[in-house]
């Protein structure tokens, strides 16, 4: 059953804010936008109307609001302005003739400064289907790559990480050798203190996009405190203990505006950077299921953005996965921009001239999340928001509508590219409630 959080107030801080949050932090100004459908959803052909308010110090102001209308992540195709009366204005958004989202982009200049906001509404999103088609040899390609990876025996280095141990949780730093080509992944392994053999479900947590350290490893310590073994990984084989300045330098050198590592080798399915990352996920599950604490049954994957994409990839590649939790998955329907008027997914290769074309789209089809989603058998719990301009709701629905496994969703229209601490804790509880009784394992 779809669960929808209906948000009546959605606001964005001033244009230069660096954090993707809607409610303004210590700002004198507050936008309030109210679609005339409480769930922000309409049928194709149905007209949408949005009431807009702007407050200063909590008091309504009569500003002139400029607006632009656009399909999700595409260039504006209409614009206009309205004068607020008693702090309120109404904007006729119109409709769509095909399933998708419309983005209402707002701006108002007050006291010499311009304040911006946006809100997206959906039209029959349950009918969105992906542009990306599955290659005929998709399963053979990945079966062969996993077989090749497994020719190398499982090997990993481990050392204590006392800085992340607590009175309830033990932590170790692992370096997992993922294949014979020299690739590796680092990860922090969290184990309940005193865990008995065969007592723990395991959880693999892949990271969001970027070349970066594993930030705030103890943020999700409640997994281990609730009896899980949890492995938080990075995917580039870089020691997370390096100083931030080192990660910044590496990122500047290898992750520039030309697409970075997500475009590395994009002209070849064999040379594409993410090939060893995807098979490395299976290797990480090999490791987790080799641990004496594993209960012999439950293997969960959980992540957001790129991490959400990798969670679905792992679930699609490895039938040992028993629960899958996903926030706004990246790497989804990436080539859809090739069709005029279609919205594609992160990393939005269309923004780099010449990078997305029919040739590179053939490579991406082997790595696109929508094609892995077709093979996920475990239950999935997926969360996404409508105002997300990183992993747009159009592509989240393309994934959601492709899944045929048991699935539940938490749709949070107000959210940009973030999830709350409460939502993330709730995901742990969902996994806990979905654990397969060990006595029932086949």
For the chain, domain boundaries:
2-126, 138-440
CA 391, CA 291: separation in Å to the nearest integer? 34
**Residue 285 pLDDT > 70:** yes
% the chain with pLDDT above 70? 93
Per-residue pLDDT at 4: 34
Give the N- to C-terminal CA distance of the chain in Å, as an integer: 28
pLDDT for the residue 27? 84
Report which of 70, 311, 71, 298 is spatially closest to residue 207, judged by C-alpha positions: 311
Which entry of 183, 388, 396, 409 is annotated as an active-site residue? 388
Q: Which residues contact 239 (CB under 8 A, 6 or more apart)?
A: 175, 186
Strand order in the sheet with 2-4: 2-4, 407-411, 380-384, 323-327, 294-304, 200-205, 229-233, 184-192, 169-177, 155-160
Contacts of 305 (CB under 8 A, 6+ apart): 208, 209, 327, 328, 329, 330, 346, 390, 391, 417
Q: In what order do the strands lie in the sheet with 100-110?
A: 41-42, 113-123, 100-110, 64-71, 76-83
Phi and psi, residue 76, nearest 5°: -60, 145
Q: What region does 260 belong to: left with phi over 0, alpha with psi -120 to 50, or beta?
A: left
Out of 177, 179, 305, 328, the active site residue is 305
pLDDT of 439 reads: 74
| Catalytic status, residue 421 | no
Give me the phi and psi of 358, to 5 degrees please: -60, -35
- Is residue 203 within 8 Å of residue 381, measured between CB atoms? no
pLDDT value at residue 381: 98
Active site residue 77: no
Question: pLDDT tens, 326-354?
Answer: 999 999 999 999 999 999 999 999 999 89
Q: Is the peptide bond before 347 cis (omega within 30 degrees of 0)?
A: yes
Per-residue confidence band for 19, with pLDDT thresholds at 50, 70 and 90: very low
Entry pTM: 0.92
Binned at pLDDT 50, 70 and 90, residue 76 comes out as very high
Tell me if 393 sits within 8 A of 366, measured CB to CB.
no
Supply 323's token pair.
């629960």
Q: What is the pLDDT of residues 390-403, one digit of tens each?
A: 999 999 999 999 99
Does the pLDDT value for residue 170 go beyond 50? yes
pLDDT recorded at residue 367:
98
Q: How far apart are CA 68 and CA 171, in angstroms?
A: 50
Residue 441 predicted with pLDDT over 90: no
Per-residue pLDDT tens digits for 351-374: 998 999 999 999 999 999 999 999
Mean pLDDT value of segment 371-384: 98
Query: What pLDDT score was predicted for residue 15?
Result: 33
Q: Kindly state the average pLDDT of the residues 381-394.
A: 98
What is the SS3 assignment for 8?
coil
Q: How much is the pLDDT for 296? A: 97
**SS3 of residue 253 by DSSP:** helix
Ranges of beta strands (E only) in 271-353 are 294-304, 323-327
Mean pLDDT to the nearest integer, 119-140: 98
CB 64 within 8 Å of CB 84: yes
Confidence of residue 258 (pLDDT cuts 50, 70, 90): confident
What CATH class is the domain 138-440? alpha beta
Torsion of CA 349, 352, 353, 357, to 10 degrees: -10
Residue 342: other Cβ atoms inside 10 A: 21
CB of 159 closer than 8 Å to CB of 173: yes
* Per-residue tokens: 290: 């080799």
- Rounded CA separation 96/102 (Å): 8
CB atoms within 10 A of CB 105: 16
Hey, what are 442's tokens? Answer: 């086949």
Number of neighbours of residue 349 by Cβ within 10 angstroms = 23
pLDDT at 134 over 70: yes
Where on the phi/psi map is residue 107: left (φ > 0), alpha (ψ -120 to 50), or beta?
Answer: beta
What does the alpha-carbon distance between residue 427 and residue 327 come to, in Å, rounded to a whole number?
10
Map tokens 């993410």 to a residue. Answer: 274
User: Which pLDDT score is estimated for 259?
Assistant: 82
Do the Cβ atoms of 295 and 198 come closer than 8 Å? Answer: yes
- When the pLDDT of each residue in the chain is averaged and rounded to a whole number, the result is 93
Query: Residue 87, Cα to own-chain centre: how many angstroms?
Result: 36
- Which pLDDT score, from 0 to 100, does residue 310 have? 98
Is 11 a residue whose pLDDT tops 70? Answer: no
Q: What is the CATH number of domain 2-126?
A: 2.60.40.1930
pLDDT band at 25 (very low <50, low <70, confident <90, very high): low
pLDDT of residue 257: 67
Tell whether the torsion through CA atoms of 19, 23, 25 and 27 is positive or negative. Answer: positive
Closest Cα partner for 145 from 177, 178, 175, 174?
Answer: 178
pLDDT confidence band for 256 (50 / 70 / 90): confident
Whether pLDDT at 265 is above 50 = yes
pLDDT above 80 (res 276):
yes
pLDDT for the residue 26: 77
What average pLDDT does the segment 41-57 reach? Answer: 97
Whether residue 388 lies in the annotated active site: yes
Best CA proximity match to 119, nearest among 72, 66, 58: 72
Question: How many beta carbons lie within 10 A of that of residue 158, not counting itself?
Answer: 12
pLDDT of 24 reads 63
């Amino acid at each position: 059953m779809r669960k929808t959080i209906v948000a009546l107030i959605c606001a964005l801080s001033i244009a230069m804010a660096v954090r993707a949050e809607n409610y303004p932090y210590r700002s004198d100004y507050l936008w309030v936008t109210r679609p005339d459908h409480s769930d922000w959803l309409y049928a194709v052909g149905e007209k949408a109307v949005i009431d807009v308010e702007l407050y200063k110090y909590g008091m309504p102001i009569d500003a002139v609001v400029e607006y632009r209308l656009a399909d999700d992540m595409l260039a504006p195709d209409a614009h206009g302005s309205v004068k607020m009366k008693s702090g309120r204005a109404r904007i006729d958004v119109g409709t769509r003739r095909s399933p998708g989202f419309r983005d209402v982009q707002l701006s108002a200049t007050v006291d010499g400064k311009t304040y911006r906001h946006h809100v997206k509404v959906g039209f029959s999103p349950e009918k969105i289907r992906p542009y990306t088609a599955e290659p005929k040899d998709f399963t053979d390609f990945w079966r062969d790559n996993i077989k090749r990876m497994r020719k190398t025996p499982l090997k990993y280095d481990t050392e204590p990480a006392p800085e992340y141990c607590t009175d309830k949780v033990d932590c170790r730093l692992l370096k997992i050798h993922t294949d014979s080509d020299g690739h590796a992944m680092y990860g922090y392994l969290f184990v309940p203190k005193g865990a008995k053999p065969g007592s723990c479900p395991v959880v693999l947590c892949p990271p969001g996009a970027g070349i970066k350290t594993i930030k705030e490893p103890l943020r999700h310590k409640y997994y281990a405190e609730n009896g899980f073994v949890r492995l938080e990984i990075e995917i580039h084989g870089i020691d997370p203990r390096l100083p931030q300045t080192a990660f910044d330098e590496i990122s500047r050198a290898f992750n520039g505006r030309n697409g970075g590592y997500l475009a590395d080798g994009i002209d070849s399915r064999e040379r594409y950077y993410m090939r060893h990352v995807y098979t490395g996920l299976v290797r990480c599950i090999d490791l987790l299921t080799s641990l004496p604490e594993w209960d012999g049954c439950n293997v969960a994957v959980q992540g957001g953005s790129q991490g959400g994409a990798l969670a679905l990839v792992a679930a699609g590649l490895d039938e040992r996965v028993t629960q899958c939790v996903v926030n706004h998955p990246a790497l989804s329907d990436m080539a859809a921009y090739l069709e005029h008027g279609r919205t594609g997914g992160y990393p939005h290769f269309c923004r780099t001239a010449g990078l997305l074309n029919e040739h590179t789209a053939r490579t991406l089809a082997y790595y696109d999340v929508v094609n892995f989603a077709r093979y996920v058998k475990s239950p999935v719990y997926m969360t996404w928001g409508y105002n997300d301009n990183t992993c747009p709701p159009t592509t989240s629905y393309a994934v959601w509508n492709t899944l045929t496994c048991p699935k539940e969703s938490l749709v949070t229209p107000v959210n940009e590219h973030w999830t709350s601490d409460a939502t993330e804790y709730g995901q742990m509880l969902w996994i806990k409630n979905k654990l397969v009784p060990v006595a029932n394992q086949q």
